[in-house]
Structure 1
Protein backbone atom coordinates (compact mmCIF):
# COMPACT_ATOMS: atom_id res chain seq x y z
CA UNK A 1 0.00 0.00 0.00
CA UNK A 2 1.48 3.31 -1.09
CA UNK A 3 0.20 6.69 0.16
CA UNK A 4 0.65 9.76 -2.07
CA UNK A 5 -0.42 13.39 -1.99
CA UNK A 6 -2.84 13.68 -4.92
CA UNK A 7 -2.12 16.24 -7.61
CA UNK A 8 -4.56 17.47 -10.29
CA UNK A 9 -3.49 14.68 -12.68
CA UNK A 10 -5.24 12.22 -10.31
CA UNK A 11 -8.58 14.02 -10.65
CA UNK A 12 -10.27 11.35 -12.80
CA UNK A 13 -9.23 8.50 -10.51
CA UNK A 14 -10.33 10.53 -7.49
CA UNK A 15 -13.73 11.27 -9.05
CA UNK A 16 -14.29 7.58 -9.86
CA UNK A 17 -13.48 6.60 -6.27
CA UNK A 18 -15.65 9.43 -4.92
CA UNK A 19 -18.66 8.17 -6.91
CA UNK A 20 -17.99 4.64 -5.63
CA UNK A 21 -17.87 6.00 -2.06
CA UNK A 22 -21.19 7.82 -2.46
CA UNK A 23 -22.80 4.61 -3.78
CA UNK A 24 -21.20 2.18 -1.31
CA UNK A 25 -21.60 4.31 1.83
CA UNK A 26 -24.37 6.88 1.25
CA UNK A 27 -24.80 7.42 5.00
CA UNK A 28 -21.16 8.48 5.40
CA UNK A 29 -21.21 11.59 3.20
CA UNK A 30 -23.18 14.82 3.10
CA UNK A 31 -23.30 14.70 -0.71
CA UNK A 32 -25.53 12.16 -2.44
CA UNK A 33 -24.53 10.16 -5.51
CA UNK A 34 -27.50 11.67 -7.36
CA UNK A 35 -26.25 15.21 -6.63
CA UNK A 36 -22.67 14.32 -7.55
CA UNK A 37 -23.42 12.89 -10.99
CA UNK A 38 -25.37 16.04 -11.91
CA UNK A 39 -22.36 18.32 -11.34
CA UNK A 40 -21.04 20.16 -14.35
CA UNK A 41 -17.32 19.68 -15.08
CA UNK A 42 -16.70 17.41 -12.06
CA UNK A 43 -13.13 16.52 -13.09
CA UNK A 44 -12.24 20.20 -13.47
CA UNK A 45 -13.71 20.90 -10.04
CA UNK A 46 -11.66 18.08 -8.50
CA UNK A 47 -8.52 19.42 -10.23
CA UNK A 48 -9.18 22.83 -8.66
CA UNK A 49 -9.75 21.28 -5.22
CA UNK A 50 -6.50 19.33 -5.53
CA UNK A 51 -4.56 22.54 -6.15
CA UNK A 52 -6.31 24.65 -3.48
CA UNK A 53 -3.92 26.01 -0.88
CA UNK A 54 -4.53 24.54 2.58
CA UNK A 55 -6.21 21.41 1.13
CA UNK A 56 -4.27 18.15 1.10
CA UNK A 57 -5.84 15.04 -0.39
CA UNK A 58 -3.99 11.78 0.08
CA UNK A 59 -4.58 8.61 -1.89
CA UNK A 60 -3.88 4.99 -1.03
CA UNK A 61 -2.68 2.99 -4.01
CA UNK A 62 -2.67 -0.75 -4.48
CA UNK A 63 -0.72 -1.75 -7.62
CA UNK A 64 -1.17 1.76 -9.08
CA UNK A 65 -4.94 1.74 -8.47
CA UNK A 66 -6.45 4.40 -6.19
CA UNK A 67 -8.28 2.44 -3.46
CA UNK A 68 -8.56 4.99 -0.65
CA UNK A 69 -8.60 8.70 0.02
CA UNK A 70 -8.75 11.34 2.71
CA UNK A 71 -8.65 15.15 2.66
CA UNK A 72 -7.12 17.43 5.29
CA UNK A 73 -8.34 21.00 5.00
CA UNK A 74 -7.05 23.91 7.07
CA UNK A 75 -9.61 26.52 8.08
CA UNK A 76 -9.00 29.80 6.23
CA UNK A 77 -10.47 32.39 8.62
CA UNK A 78 -7.88 34.09 10.82
CA UNK A 79 -9.59 33.07 14.08
CA UNK A 80 -9.89 29.44 12.94
CA UNK A 81 -6.54 28.85 11.19
CA UNK A 82 -5.48 26.73 14.19
CA UNK A 83 -8.04 24.13 13.08
CA UNK A 84 -8.08 21.62 10.26
CA UNK A 85 -10.76 19.15 9.21
CA UNK A 86 -10.68 15.61 7.89
CA UNK A 87 -13.15 15.07 5.03
CA UNK A 88 -14.04 12.47 2.42
CA UNK A 89 -12.35 9.52 4.13
CA UNK A 90 -13.03 6.34 2.16
CA UNK A 91 -11.41 2.99 1.41
CA UNK A 92 -12.76 0.62 -1.28
CA UNK A 93 -14.25 -2.61 0.11
CA UNK A 94 -11.55 -4.74 -1.60
CA UNK A 95 -8.81 -2.78 0.20
CA UNK A 96 -10.37 -2.72 3.68
CA UNK A 97 -8.56 -4.48 6.50
CA UNK A 98 -5.16 -3.92 4.87
CA UNK A 99 -4.22 -0.79 6.81
CA UNK A 100 -5.07 1.75 4.10
CA UNK A 101 -7.40 3.78 6.32
CA UNK A 102 -4.88 4.00 9.13
CA UNK A 103 -2.04 4.88 6.74
CA UNK A 104 -4.15 7.61 5.09
CA UNK A 105 -5.19 9.11 8.41
CA UNK A 106 -1.65 9.02 9.78
CA UNK A 107 -0.41 10.80 6.64
CA UNK A 108 -3.08 13.52 7.09
CA UNK A 109 -2.24 13.92 10.82
CA UNK A 110 1.48 14.06 10.05
CA UNK A 111 0.83 16.73 7.42
CA UNK A 112 -1.18 18.74 9.97
CA UNK A 113 1.73 18.50 12.41
CA UNK A 114 4.06 20.08 9.81
CA UNK A 115 1.86 23.20 9.57
CA UNK A 116 2.82 25.39 12.49
CA UNK A 117 -0.59 27.09 12.79
CA UNK A 118 -2.61 23.87 13.08
CA UNK A 119 -3.24 22.87 16.70
CA UNK A 120 -6.23 20.54 16.30
CA UNK A 121 -7.89 18.33 13.72
CA UNK A 122 -11.65 17.75 13.67
CA UNK A 123 -13.79 15.16 11.89
CA UNK A 124 -17.33 13.84 11.90
CA UNK A 125 -18.31 10.19 11.65
CA UNK A 126 -21.65 8.39 11.55
CA UNK A 127 -22.24 7.24 15.13
CA UNK A 128 -22.91 3.62 14.10
CA UNK A 129 -19.66 3.29 12.10
CA UNK A 130 -17.77 1.40 14.81
CA UNK A 131 -14.78 0.43 12.62
CA UNK A 132 -14.07 4.05 11.66
CA UNK A 133 -14.66 5.31 15.21
CA UNK A 134 -12.27 2.67 16.58
CA UNK A 135 -9.58 3.75 14.10
CA UNK A 136 -10.04 7.43 14.97
CA UNK A 137 -9.93 6.68 18.71
CA UNK A 138 -6.82 4.50 18.26
CA UNK A 139 -5.10 7.50 16.62
CA UNK A 140 -6.03 9.82 19.49
CA UNK A 141 -9.32 11.42 18.41
CA UNK A 142 -11.95 11.99 21.10
CA UNK A 143 -15.68 12.60 20.78
CA UNK A 144 -16.67 16.13 21.80
CA UNK A 145 -20.29 16.04 20.71
CA UNK A 146 -23.02 14.09 18.99
CA UNK A 147 -25.36 15.59 16.43
CA UNK A 148 -28.67 13.74 16.35
CA UNK A 149 -30.25 13.20 12.94
CA UNK A 150 -27.23 14.81 11.21
CA UNK A 151 -27.98 13.03 7.93
CA UNK A 152 -31.11 11.62 6.36
CA UNK A 153 -30.81 8.96 3.66
CA UNK A 154 -34.20 7.99 2.24
CA UNK A 155 -36.25 7.67 5.46
CA UNK A 156 -33.38 6.78 7.77
CA UNK A 157 -31.67 9.28 10.04
CA UNK A 158 -28.01 9.01 11.06
CA UNK A 159 -26.38 10.63 14.07
CA UNK A 160 -22.81 11.89 13.79
CA UNK A 161 -20.06 11.92 16.38
CA UNK A 162 -17.87 15.01 16.20
CA UNK A 163 -14.31 14.12 17.11
CA UNK A 164 -11.13 16.11 17.66
CA UNK A 165 -7.42 15.45 17.95
CA UNK A 166 -5.41 18.08 19.82
CA UNK A 167 -1.92 18.18 18.33
Structure 2
Protein backbone atom coordinates (compact mmCIF):
# COMPACT_ATOMS: atom_id res chain seq x y z
CA UNK A 1 0.00 0.00 0.00
CA UNK A 2 2.44 2.65 -1.19
CA UNK A 3 1.35 6.23 -0.71
CA UNK A 4 2.71 9.63 -1.66
CA UNK A 5 4.66 11.61 0.91
CA UNK A 6 2.21 12.26 3.74
CA UNK A 7 0.87 15.78 4.14
CA UNK A 8 -2.27 16.31 6.19
CA UNK A 9 -3.19 19.33 4.03
CA UNK A 10 -3.79 16.96 1.13
CA UNK A 11 -6.17 14.77 3.15
CA UNK A 12 -9.94 15.21 3.03
CA UNK A 13 -12.16 13.74 5.75
CA UNK A 14 -15.67 12.83 4.64
CA UNK A 15 -18.47 10.34 5.17
CA UNK A 16 -17.31 7.46 3.00
CA UNK A 17 -19.44 7.00 -0.12
CA UNK A 18 -20.36 3.43 -1.06
CA UNK A 19 -18.21 3.85 -4.19
CA UNK A 20 -15.22 3.46 -1.83
CA UNK A 21 -16.36 0.05 -0.51
CA UNK A 22 -13.54 -1.83 -2.28
CA UNK A 23 -10.91 0.54 -0.86
CA UNK A 24 -12.52 0.34 2.58
CA UNK A 25 -12.42 -3.46 2.48
CA UNK A 26 -8.78 -3.42 1.35
CA UNK A 27 -7.78 -0.93 4.06
CA UNK A 28 -9.53 -2.80 6.86
CA UNK A 29 -8.22 -6.21 5.76
CA UNK A 30 -4.74 -4.65 5.76
CA UNK A 31 -5.40 -3.38 9.30
CA UNK A 32 -6.65 -6.74 10.57
CA UNK A 33 -3.64 -8.52 9.06
CA UNK A 34 -0.88 -6.12 10.09
CA UNK A 35 -2.26 -4.88 13.44
CA UNK A 36 -4.15 -7.90 14.77
CA UNK A 37 -3.89 -6.83 18.42
CA UNK A 38 -5.69 -3.56 17.70
CA UNK A 39 -8.97 -5.18 16.62
CA UNK A 40 -11.41 -7.70 18.02
CA UNK A 41 -12.23 -9.01 14.54
CA UNK A 42 -9.69 -11.16 12.72
CA UNK A 43 -8.48 -10.94 9.14
CA UNK A 44 -9.96 -14.37 8.39
CA UNK A 45 -13.39 -13.43 9.79
CA UNK A 46 -13.63 -10.23 7.80
CA UNK A 47 -12.05 -11.59 4.58
CA UNK A 48 -14.78 -14.25 4.46
CA UNK A 49 -17.59 -11.67 4.45
CA UNK A 50 -19.36 -10.95 1.15
CA UNK A 51 -18.65 -7.64 -0.55
CA UNK A 52 -22.23 -6.59 0.19
CA UNK A 53 -21.37 -6.58 3.92
CA UNK A 54 -18.69 -3.93 3.28
CA UNK A 55 -21.09 -1.88 1.17
CA UNK A 56 -23.74 -1.98 3.88
CA UNK A 57 -21.15 -1.06 6.52
CA UNK A 58 -20.59 2.16 4.57
CA UNK A 59 -24.15 2.74 3.34
CA UNK A 60 -26.41 1.49 6.14
CA UNK A 61 -30.03 1.77 4.92
CA UNK A 62 -31.27 2.05 8.52
CA UNK A 63 -28.70 4.81 9.22
CA UNK A 64 -27.56 3.05 12.39
CA UNK A 65 -23.91 3.54 11.45
CA UNK A 66 -21.60 5.82 9.51
CA UNK A 67 -18.02 5.42 8.29
CA UNK A 68 -15.66 8.34 7.72
CA UNK A 69 -12.68 8.17 5.43
CA UNK A 70 -9.44 10.09 5.10
CA UNK A 71 -8.84 10.47 1.36
CA UNK A 72 -5.48 11.57 -0.08
CA UNK A 73 -5.11 11.75 -3.84
CA UNK A 74 -8.16 9.55 -4.32
CA UNK A 75 -6.75 6.88 -1.98
CA UNK A 76 -8.31 5.86 1.34
CA UNK A 77 -5.57 6.23 3.97
CA UNK A 78 -7.62 6.16 7.18
CA UNK A 79 -11.05 5.43 8.56
CA UNK A 80 -13.27 5.46 11.62
CA UNK A 81 -16.86 4.41 12.17
CA UNK A 82 -19.74 5.03 14.52
CA UNK A 83 -22.52 2.62 15.38
CA UNK A 84 -25.67 4.03 16.97
CA UNK A 85 -27.66 2.04 19.49
CA UNK A 86 -31.22 1.29 18.41
CA UNK A 87 -32.40 -0.03 21.77
CA UNK A 88 -34.66 2.32 23.73
CA UNK A 89 -32.59 2.37 26.92
CA UNK A 90 -29.28 2.90 25.12
CA UNK A 91 -30.38 5.10 22.22
CA UNK A 92 -28.38 7.96 23.74
CA UNK A 93 -25.12 6.14 22.89
CA UNK A 94 -22.87 5.71 19.89
CA UNK A 95 -19.90 3.34 19.75
CA UNK A 96 -16.70 4.31 17.93
CA UNK A 97 -15.31 1.47 15.81
CA UNK A 98 -12.55 0.55 13.37
CA UNK A 99 -10.24 3.54 13.83
CA UNK A 100 -7.25 3.02 11.55
CA UNK A 101 -4.68 5.05 9.64
CA UNK A 102 -2.06 3.52 7.35
CA UNK A 103 1.34 3.56 9.10
CA UNK A 104 2.95 5.85 6.52
CA UNK A 105 0.19 8.43 7.13
CA UNK A 106 0.46 8.47 10.94
CA UNK A 107 1.86 11.29 13.01
CA UNK A 108 0.43 14.14 10.92
CA UNK A 109 -2.97 14.51 12.60
CA UNK A 110 -5.18 12.31 10.45
CA UNK A 111 -6.40 10.22 13.39
CA UNK A 112 -7.41 13.35 15.26
CA UNK A 113 -9.22 14.71 12.20
CA UNK A 114 -11.09 11.44 11.68
CA UNK A 115 -12.07 11.35 15.35
CA UNK A 116 -13.13 15.01 15.20
CA UNK A 117 -15.39 14.35 12.20
CA UNK A 118 -17.00 11.36 13.91
CA UNK A 119 -17.59 13.28 17.14
CA UNK A 120 -19.01 16.29 15.27
CA UNK A 121 -21.44 13.97 13.50
CA UNK A 122 -22.43 12.31 16.80
CA UNK A 123 -23.06 15.73 18.35
CA UNK A 124 -25.42 16.64 15.49
CA UNK A 125 -27.35 13.39 15.66
CA UNK A 126 -30.52 13.90 17.73
CA UNK A 127 -30.52 12.12 21.06
CA UNK A 128 -26.86 11.04 21.09
CA UNK A 129 -25.18 12.11 24.33
CA UNK A 130 -22.38 9.58 24.83
CA UNK A 131 -19.72 7.97 22.64
CA UNK A 132 -18.01 4.81 23.88
CA UNK A 133 -15.10 2.80 22.54
CA UNK A 134 -12.74 0.00 23.43
CA UNK A 135 -9.03 0.10 22.71
CA UNK A 136 -6.36 -2.52 23.33
CA UNK A 137 -4.50 -1.52 26.49
CA UNK A 138 -1.10 -1.60 24.77
CA UNK A 139 -2.20 0.77 21.97
CA UNK A 140 -0.81 3.91 23.61
CA UNK A 141 -0.92 6.13 20.48
CA UNK A 142 -4.66 5.52 20.07
CA UNK A 143 -5.34 6.07 23.77
CA UNK A 144 -3.45 9.38 23.56
CA UNK A 145 -5.67 10.57 20.67
CA UNK A 146 -8.82 9.53 22.53
CA UNK A 147 -7.76 11.23 25.76
CA UNK A 148 -6.87 14.42 23.85
CA UNK A 149 -10.45 14.44 22.53
CA UNK A 150 -11.80 14.18 26.09
CA UNK A 151 -12.45 10.44 26.41
CA UNK A 152 -12.07 8.98 29.91
CA UNK A 153 -11.40 5.39 30.89
CA UNK A 154 -14.09 3.67 32.90
CA UNK A 155 -12.70 0.18 33.11
CA UNK A 156 -10.15 -2.32 31.95
CA UNK A 157 -11.41 -5.66 30.69
CA UNK A 158 -8.76 -8.31 31.35
CA UNK A 159 -8.38 -11.12 28.82
CA UNK A 160 -10.69 -9.26 26.41
CA UNK A 161 -9.12 -10.77 23.29
CA UNK A 162 -6.94 -13.81 22.70
CA UNK A 163 -4.15 -13.36 20.18
CA UNK A 164 -1.20 -15.44 19.03
CA UNK A 165 0.84 -13.62 21.69
CA UNK A 166 -1.63 -14.37 24.48
CA UNK A 167 -4.46 -12.43 26.07
CA UNK A 168 -4.82 -8.67 25.75
CA UNK A 169 -6.85 -6.31 27.90
CA UNK A 170 -9.25 -3.74 26.46
CA UNK A 171 -9.57 -0.24 27.89
CA UNK A 172 -13.20 0.91 27.90
CA UNK A 173 -13.54 4.66 27.35
CA UNK A 174 -16.40 7.12 27.09
CA UNK A 175 -17.05 10.74 26.20
CA UNK A 176 -20.05 12.76 27.38
CA UNK A 177 -20.84 14.93 24.35
CA UNK A 178 -22.77 17.48 26.37
CA UNK A 179 -19.94 18.07 28.85
CA UNK A 180 -18.48 21.61 28.84
TM-score of the superposition, structure 2-length normalised? 0.89
* 3-state SS in 2 of match to 1:35: helix
| Match of residue 146 from structure 1 | 156
Structure 2 unaligned runs (5+)?
A: 1-10
Which segments of 5 or more consecutive residues in structure 1 lack a partner in the other structure? none
CA shift, 1:28, in A, is: 1.1
**Cα distance change, pair 155–77 in 1 and its aligned pair in 2 (3 A):** same
| Structure 2 Cα separation of the partners of residues 54 and 35 of structure 1 | 22
Per-residue deviation, residues 17-50 of structure 1 (Å, max 9, x unmatched): 01000011101111111222223x2x21111122
Aligned: 1:74 with 2:84:
yes
RMSD value over aligned CA atoms? Answer: 0.9
Partner of 1:49: 57
Distance 2:45 2:57 in 1: 18
Aligned equivalent of 1:134, options 119, 144, 148: 144
Deviations 1:69-94 (A, max 9, x none): 00011101111110000001100001
Aligned position for 1:16? 26
How many positions carry a matched residue from both structures?
Answer: 165
- Name the TM-score, length of structure 1 as normaliser: 0.96
Q: Partners of 2:135 and 2:82 in 1: how far apart?
A: 15
